[in-house]
Amino acid sequence: MSLFSKLKSRLMKTSSKLDEGLEAIVEDGGVESSADEAILADPVMPEGVPVEPPLEQPAPIPETFAPQTPIETPDETPIEIPDAVTPLEIPVETVVNEAPEPSATANKPGLVGRLLGRKETQPVLRRTLDDAMLEQLEELLITADMGVETSMRVTAAMAEGRYGKKLSVDEIKRLMAREIARIMESVAKPMPLYPKTPQVVLVVGVNGSGKTTTIGKLASQFKAAGKTVVIAAGDTFRAAAVEQLQVWGTRAGVPVLTAPEGSDPASLAFDAMTKAEELGADLLMIDTAGRLQNRADLMEELSKIVRVIRKKDATAPHNTLLVLDATTGQNAISQVEIFQKLADVSGLVMTKLDGTARGGVLVSLADKFGLPIHAIGVGEQIDDLAPFDPEDFAKALMGLEV
Ligand SMILES: Nc1nc2c(ncn2[C@@H]2O[C@H](COP(=O)(O)OP(=O)(O)OP(=O)(O)O)[C@@H](O)[C@H]2O)c(=O)[nH]1
pLDDT of residue 355: 83
Sign of the Cα pseudo-torsion (161, 399, 386, 323, in order): positive
Predicted ipTM beyond 0.90: yes
Index of the ligand 1 atom closest to the CA of residue 216: 15
From CA 88, how far away is CA 193, in angstroms rounded?
A: 20
CB of residue 217 inside a 6 A radius of ligand 1: no
Number of neighbours of residue 122 by Cβ within 10 angstroms: 8
Average pLDDT, the chain: 82
pLDDT over 60 at 46, yes or no: no
Residue 218 known to bind ligand = no
Mutate to test the pocket of ligand 1, among 301, 351, 388 (most ligand atoms within 8 A of CB): 351
Residue 352 known to bind ligand = yes
pLDDT of residue 1: 64
pLDDT over 70 at 58, yes or no: no
What residue owns the CA closest to ligand 1's atom 30? Answer: 352
pLDDT of residue 110: 46
Index of the ligand 1 atom closest to the CA of residue 207: 25
High-pLDDT (> 70) share of the chain, %: 78
pLDDT of residue 121: 63
Please tell me the distance between residue 323's alpha carbon and the centre of ligand 1 in angstroms. 10
SS (H, E, C) 64-75: CEEECCCCCCCC
From CA 287, how far away is CA 268, in angstroms rounded?
A: 11
pLDDT of residue 13: 84
Please tell me the distance between residue 49's alpha carbon and the centre of ligand 1 in angstroms. 38
pLDDT of residue 5: 77
Please tell me the distance between residue 208's alpha carbon and the centre of ligand 1 in angstroms. 5
CB of residue 324 inside a 6 A radius of ligand 1: no
pLDDT of residue 347: 97
pLDDT of residue 28: 87
Domain ranges of the chain: 199-389
CB of residue 211 inside a 6 A radius of ligand 1: yes
From CA 249, how far away is CA 245, in angstroms rounded?
A: 6
Secondary structure tally for the chain: helices H, strands E: 15, 13
CB of residue 213 inside a 6 A radius of ligand 1: yes
pLDDT over 60 at 148, yes or no: yes
CB of residue 210 inside a 6 A radius of ligand 1: yes
From CA 230, how far away is CA 222, in angstroms rounded?
A: 11
Say what the pTM is.
0.82
Residue 43 preceded by cis peptide, ω within 30: no
What residue owns the CA closest to ligand 1's atom 13? Answer: 210
Comparing CA positions, the residue from 27, 47, 317, 88 lying closest to residue 175 is 47
State mean pLDDT over 307-334. Answer: 96
pLDDT over 80 at 38, yes or no: no
Are the beta carbons of 126 and 38 closer than 8 angstroms?
A: yes
pLDDT of residue 402: 62
Please tell me the distance between residue 378's alpha carbon and the centre of ligand 1 in angstroms. 11
Please tell me the distance between residue 210's alpha carbon and the centre of ligand 1 in angstroms. 3
pLDDT of residue 37: 57
What residue owns the CA closest to ligand 1's atom 7? Answer: 210
What confidence tens digit (pLDDT) does each residue in 97-131 have? 333 343 444 444 444 444 444 455 678 899 999 99
> Higher confidence at residue 1 or residue 304?
304
CB of residue 209 inside a 6 A radius of ligand 1: yes
pLDDT of residue 212: 96
What confidence tens digit (pLDDT) does each residue in 342-401 have? 999 999 999 999 888 899 999 999 999 999 999 999 999 999 999 999 999 999 999 997
pLDDT of residue 84: 34
Please tell me the distance between residue 248's alpha carbon and the centre of ligand 1 in angstroms. 11
State mean pLDDT over 231-255. Answer: 94
What residue owns the CA closest to ligand 1's atom 6? Answer: 210
From CA 284, how far away is CA 55, in angstroms rounded?
A: 38
CATH dotted code for 199-389: 3.40.50.300
Residue 206 known to bind ligand = yes
CB of residue 352 inside a 6 A radius of ligand 1: yes
CB of residue 327 inside a 6 A radius of ligand 1: no
What confidence tens digit (pLDDT) does each residue in 278-316 have? 999 999 999 999 988 788 889 899 999 999 999 999 999
Residue 265 preceded by cis peptide, ω within 30: no
CB of residue 378 inside a 6 A radius of ligand 1: yes
